[in-house]
Amino acid sequence: MANDPRGTHRPLLLALLLSLTAGCVANPPAPVQGKPGEPATPNAAAQSSPSTASSNSSLPPPDSVSRDLHPSGPTVVRTWGGSAQTPPDRIELTHARSGRRLVGQARLLRQGTGQWFIQTSAGEQLPVTGNVTPSTVIIEESGQRWRVRVLKQIEPVTKPGIATEDEPNLDLLLERLP
């Protein structure tokens, strides 16, 4: 066994395995931090923007949180209420980009001139803005009426000679009306 070439590599492989295991134990993945007093879980994704922190202060935690990853930043969707048979009572979207489906077949779109609007499945185009005075529109989609409020509009700052992956986006709040 002393002349066995496989036996000479065993201590090296064992040392490599132990170093990898020790690295995983020493640097575990950090949990996503929630609000004080809440457990830190990845689904609690308490990434609140300054515009939504004040509007959520009196609300219970969302029933679901999802993130759609994108090079210019994730779109975070928080929902409250609803069930498998009914749509949620409230939906909050952070960093929604043009082309994003809101509810049913209604989509958030941005024209080349910079004007934002919501296009419903019936083909109706309702302009929305968030620059100086955030707007509120009422849409009807999938047999439900929704109040859509623009909380914040984000326009990327372009710098000559520097590439940016940022895209214009909106923070929106959709509330289902009776």
Element (H, E) at 144: strand 144-154
Element (H, E) at 142: none
Average pLDDT over residues 164-171: 89
Model-level pTM?
0.62
What is the rounded CA–CA span in Å between residue 68 and residue 150? 19
What pLDDT is stored for residue 45 in this prediction?
Answer: 38
**Tens-digit pLDDT profile for residues 15-52:** 766 666 655 544 554 444 444 444 444 443 334 333 44
The CA angle 72-76-81, to the nearest 5 degrees, is: 165
CA neighbours closer than 13 Å in the CB half-sphere of residue 31: 9
**Tens-digit pLDDT profile for residues 94-147:** 999 999 999 989 999 999 888 999 999 999 999 998 766 678 899 999 889 999
What pLDDT is stored for residue 4 in this prediction?
Answer: 59
What pLDDT is stored for residue 3 in this prediction?
Answer: 61
